[in-house]
Amino acid sequence: MTCSGEEAAVIGSAAALKDEDTVFTQYREVGVFLWRGFTPDDIMHQCFSTHKDNTKGRQMPIHYSSKKHNIQCVSSTLATQVPNAVGYAYSNKLKNIPAVTATFFGEGAASEGDVHAAMNMAAVLKCPTLFICRNNGYAISTSTVDQYAGDGIAARAVGYGMRSVRVDGNDLFAVHQAVSEARQLALRETCPVLVELMTYRVGHHSTSDDSTAYRSIDEVNYWNREDSPVGRLGGFLEKRGLWDQDQEQSFSKECRKEIMGAFNRAESTPKPSPYLLFDDVYDSESGHLAEQRQQMKQHLAQYGQHYDLNNYDI
């Protein structure tokens, strides 16, 4: 799951939030994790489910989470993170915690009932929530033309009695300003705000998707050539003498080296101990779990040669 073509929407939003703001992401916001200090090694250890994965190998790949960085676990079940974010914001409100809760989702997920319930709840209870919608043109293979007949997502806020703003999601500075002001408004008036970021998904939906089956190469190339957020920012910096193509090539090589290094380290790192199976089920280990742990220990002592235990952190 990449965010190719949506980099400004993700990074611009992340930069506008504060560390105390809790974030509930969907699955294209790895940039939010990186912005807050989650490292390429952290990412790779999660994807390979190694013993260094902070979720202990219990999540599917790309389902990152980080209590340290105040980001809840990635949700791939569409829109379930949205009502969770509102509940979290309501809790903060009751505790007088001066922070907002931000939740990301796509325009396709906005068709889920969870989003309707969440927005209504946030507006009625005046929860300081930022609903950040990445309108990237496609819900997997379904174009926005076939998703809704109304004026996008931002217009829906009126029905909930909520403020909203629509922004050029490929303009890094516009995104940063809009989310910054939305955050200030949410805190100042203790209210939710909907931000719709108009962007375009250049990449396939996922590695199992072939987007040429439902859109033309010319369409993708147009957006990649004429309205790429990375290209627009690069052009902005180059015109001011702050960046050039030599720096671009050098930086790209450095990034690739860092990513492949993290990839190789994670690939060779042992998996979590199988005994973690019995941890975190209850606050303290119950009698029947202790019994099962002992049974596993006896089983591995007797039949361990049939398992490749060298690949596990035992």
Q: Distance between CA atoms of 93 and 232, rounded to whole angstroms?
A: 38
224 CB neighbour count, 10 Å cutoff: 16
Chain mean pLDDT for the chain = 96
What's the average model confidence in pLDDT over 142-147?
A: 96
User: pLDDT band at 113, cuts 50/70/90?
Assistant: very high
Note the pTM of the prediction, 2 decimals: 0.95
Average pLDDT over residues 249-275: 97
Confidence of residue 161 (pLDDT cuts 50, 70, 90): very high
Q: For residues 103 and 22, give the distance between their C-alpha atoms in angstroms, rounded to a whole number.
A: 9
Written as six digits, the tokens of 264 are 């190789």
3-state secondary structure of 129: strand
Q: For the chain, what percent of residues have pLDDT higher than 70?
A: 100
Asked if residue 117 has pLDDT above 90, the reply is yes
Is the pLDDT assigned to residue 194 strictly greater than 90? yes
Assess contact for 192 and 131: CB atoms under 8 A: yes
Arithmetic mean of pLDDT, 177-202: 98
pLDDT band at residue 176 under the 50/70/90 scheme = very high
Measured CA to CA, the distance from residue 193 to residue 129 in angstroms comes to 6
The pLDDT of residue 75 is 85
Q: Please state the rounded mean pLDDT for residues 90-96.
A: 98
Give the confidence band of 175 by pLDDT, cuts at 50, 70, 90.
very high
Instruction: Report pLDDT for 76.
Output: 83
Instruction: Reply yes or no on whether the pLDDT at 1 is more than 90.
Output: no
Can you say how many angstroms the Cα of residue 219 is from the centroid of all Cα atoms in its chain?
26
Q: How many helices (H) and strands (E) does the chain have?
A: 11, 7
Tens digits of residue pLDDT in 208-220: 999 999 999 999 9
| pLDDT value of position 105 | 97
Whether the pLDDT of residue 222 is over 90: the answer is yes
Number of residues that make up the chain: 314
How large is the average pLDDT for residues 140-150?
Answer: 95
Q: For the residues 191-200, what does the mean pLDDT come to?
A: 98
Whole-number pLDDT of residue 314:
87
Confidence of residue 248 (pLDDT cuts 50, 70, 90): very high
Mean pLDDT, rounded, for 226-230: 95
Q: Is the pLDDT of residue 259 over 90?
A: yes
Which tens digits make up the pLDDT trace of 20-72? 999 999 999 999 999 999 999 999 999 999 999 999 999 999 999 999 999 99
